[in-house]
Structure 1
Amino acid sequence: MRMLEELDLTILQSRSMMHRIEVAMLSHDEWLSKLYRVLICGGEELGCEYTAADAHTLCGFGQWMAKLCQSNPKLAALPLIQDIGFLHRRMHEAVAALLVQHAAKPLDAGSMSKLYDEVIAKRMAFRWLVTAFDHQICFQILNTDPLTNTLGREKLIAVLRREMEEIQRTSGRESLIAMVDIDYFKKINDTYGHIAGDRVLIEVTRFIKANLRPTDLVFRYGGEEFVIFLPSTSLTWAGVLLERLRQQLSQYEITASAFAQPLTITASFGVTRLLGTGTVVDYLERADQAMYQAKAQGRNRVVVA
């Protein structure tokens, strides 16, 4: 199942999405207010965004949803987004049925009451789903490192706990984590300054993300340490992937300062396999120990615990 963290949205993109959700919901509230006014007061015709077979694509919220999904297919694949779209369409269908009954002569008060209750129930469920999505985005912002745009430690713990539960349920499922530490990072800070060090952190995380699979996640663990989560991955394949990543990173030049030559960065990797037993902290410690073994063996290498 796709999760929001897989989309790798920047904090700015997430905040922009929260604002656009608010605007879209205000538009939908105005759409509902007009419906209620016509039902109570009459005297005004409702447009195709109420009565057409595809009315859910014509209202302000529907147009926003369509643009959102077209601009980001991965977002469109999120189960919560699909549920919001489904319930939005069903609410429009309930409104259309209510309007048909409202226009019937003689008016059947019992049928009107049932249809009205159905519209209200779907509206409440629809709003609840949109609010849940808004809260997910907010949580994502709170758990994203503003410098590197990687997820933070709290989110790491939550993701690994969820994965360990999945491993317990699913026979044969393999997943791994890799602790990554940038070699000689303190020397970079001391030689070129902390702004240059920040640039190295940004560029290294960008490079790592660009050379992983879409389902892999990168977390900032602390300082110059990062954790890579490799779901549904065998130890053999993880070794190949991380060794290739290590080699490519060692050949990647980073311009950390306008006043210095480009830097070549290396990193040490400690890898361990997740099991359905133990705690998340146990596996993080094992990966950390493997990473320190890589350091002790000369740095710029991958060690499996």
Structure 2
Amino acid sequence: MSAVSNKPVRSSSGSSTLFSRPDLSLVEIVPPRYVGRWIMGVLVLGLLVLIVRAFANAQIEWNVVAKYLAAPTILAGFWHTMILSVLAMIVGVALGLAISIMRMSDNPLLVIVAFGYQWFFRGTPVILQLLIWYNLALIIPVIGIPGLWTAPTVDVITPFWAALLGLGINQGAYTSEVIRAGILSVDAGQHEAAQSIGMTRLHALWRIVLPQAMRVIVPPIGNEFIGMVKMTSLASVIQYTDLLYSAQNVYFVNQRVIELLIVAGAWYLLAVSILTPLQLLLEWRFARGTSVVRVR
């Protein structure tokens, strides 16, 4: 080990030596070896090799994957998935905004109704809600406005409407808490300032509070939308022709199950890969003018 020499250090007057300190220029600096990091890296690499080897040794006909990757039925299922995702999120955000306002209302009845809505739809599985909407005719045989228009429920609640209602209303229960958290993140002084210039509570919420709350609301809502794209696959159980249901219809005929599942997975990955940078761009748009702490 290198020797450490002592050099005298003079006082502020420069007249006498009071103490000495080691000369650090002669100390050998040994960088950390990160043994645990290398071990974890080797384990992860080994796991990836095993996964690639399993797919390589499996009897997967990649020509079938390429054949059906752009098949009309798969493309139609993909567009049905995206349409359902967008509409369900619109329903979810609209319901979430209404429920979040009701939760913060001074009216106890509105608070109870909003809490009950969140409790029920967050407490039951999504697939159960889809099945209930799809079989609504067993509870309400006829739907409509008495004296003006009526129709059999089984003709009105198609797989599309059952999926839209099930996913949208369920999403509203989760989105309401996201929006409420965003509203609560805005300083109370903003509410008071808006009321001091004569704004009503709803007007202040729309013009003052929500624009500031969007910085907090947008990131989780973006994540919820990406999750919605994948959650639409549950609609296949009620025969909605989404991406997964279209892939199932094909492999029920040609028996190439893994190949068609790989095709469906590729389209889901494409959708998420497109939506993720759009979410980041939207986050940046609403985060302008605020400081962001980055973790290095």
Task: Give the TM bin, normalised by the shorter chain.
Answer: under 0.3
TM-score for the superposition, normalised by structure 1? 0.24
Q: Which is richer in strand?
A: 1
Q: TM-score, normalised by structure 2?
A: 0.24
Structure with higher Rg: it is: 2
Q: Which one has the bigger helix percentage?
A: 2
Higher RCO (CA 8 Å, separation ≥ 6 residues): 2
